[in-house]
Chains A and B, each alone.
Chain A
Amino acid sequence: ETGVTQTPRHLVMGMTNKKSLKCEQHLGHNAMYWYKQSAKKPLELMFVYNFKEQTENNSVPSRFSPECPNSSHLFLHLHTLQPEDSALYLCASSQATGGYEQYFGPGTRLTVT
């Protein structure tokens, strides 16, 4: 495995629920990312964190709220989602400086009912 873990692996939630996705990297990296992978669409970058600071928000709706308490952990808080938010949510990590390679976790398969 890649050293990036995500929990839960599967999540079903109603449109009024609040849930959180968790990502942890064991690679000593200091940049972390959230991506969305929908059927028949390319992977879409959502957020980038460098040294715990958010440096990129790719016009993501406010019903997705990221949190990065330290360089090893990343959360995605979800509330009042829509059915079209059903997708595979992938976390990745990399070195923030001098490094290019991004390493992905296995993803959380989210279904919004």
Chain B
Amino acid sequence: GENVEQHPSTLSVQEGDSAVIKCTYSDSASNYFPWYKQELGKGPQLIIDIRSNVGEKKDQRIAVTLNKTAKHFSLHITETQPEDSAVYFCAASAAEGAQKLVFGQGTRLTINP
């Protein structure tokens, strides 16, 4: 089955700097890769996703890149702000309709003012 590895487990950056979180996956059939942000006391919130037919997707300060050959994908956050502090999860799915998401272990991102 699919296995997703996420690094680093913790990340601390200065406000205004960029943050990068990386994930690798094992199943070459995976075709959907979402990123979730989880704040304290809340459920995960979908922030961006990418499908296997594109290599990069951007949404304001957030971007995701996908390298299918190497089976890894990354989340890039630019101009970080204190409200970006949270736990971020990557996931992958090869199932129809992406119903069987396999998650990474999570990255605790702290933005230092």
Cβ of A97: which chain B residues have Cβ within 8 Å of it? 97
Q: Which of A56, A95, A98 is in CB contact (< 8 Å) with B100? A: A56
Answer yes or no: B20 CB below 8 A from chain A CBs.
no
Closest to B42 in A: A106
Most A CB within 10 A of own CB, among B51, B89, B103? B103
Which A residues are within 8 Å of any B CB, using their own CB?
Answer: 2, 4, 31, 33, 40-45, 48, 50, 55-56, 90, 92, 94-107
Q: A31-B99, A45-B100, A96-B97 are in contact. Are A104 and B44 (CB under 8 A)?
A: yes
Q: Of all chain A residues, which has the CB nearest B99?
A: A48
- Using a Cβ–Cβ cut-off of 8 Å, how many residues does chain B contribute to the interface with A? 25
A101 touching B97, Cβ below 8 Å: no
B41 at the binding interface (Cβ < 8 Å): yes
Chain A residues with Cβ under 8 A from B43's Cβ? 2, 4, 90, 92, 104-107
A2 to B38, CA, bound (A): 12
**Complex interface: chain B residues within 8 A of A50 (CB):** 99
CB <8 Å contact, A90 and B97: no
Chain B residues contacting A100 (CB-CB under 8 Å) are: 32, 34, 49, 51, 93, 97-98
